[in-house]
Structure 1
């Protein structure tokens, strides 16, 4: 199971997006689960996820959030157009691609 964490100011706007992402994952047989929390609760929630996606309204915190998770997992901002249109499929695909990219990078580093 791939665990995706969405972060925004209060977790409400990303909460709706999470519900849509979970519906799509279930319908397409994708073994993934998204959940949303406010940025202030990040520390209590990132340790059991595979990727952190942040809402475009807090994109300015991207570097700070990467530091807070210790660069241990991929962190990226949600595309503002996908976010605004609640394009859950695109956000899910982007999150999953970041997980694959991270595992590929980790495998290459392990081989070095």
Structure 2
């Protein structure tokens, strides 16, 4: 088997079952699609969850979604262990309002402009 075939199979691997399974890492803009779908499904996304999916520029994606009409709030979310002791914080973005219909096309155009 050629190295190209192996790398293609690895990059086409479907994203984990924690989120939308129809988005693959090979697609251009998969990170924005994954975050927007996660916000729609769960109502929130945390910084650590994004990092676990190898999405390091979450704030940039949130910025683009906000410019496209999404209303998203962000705040520190304290974490506690099983004894009730504070062990740290995670940043949590919460979806307050979805944009009007047809705005997803606007998001795609925003993404295309940003990668040129």
Report the TM-score when normalising by structure 1: 0.34
Higher helix share: 1
Report the TM-score when normalising by structure 2: 0.34
Which structure has the greater CA radius of gyration?
2
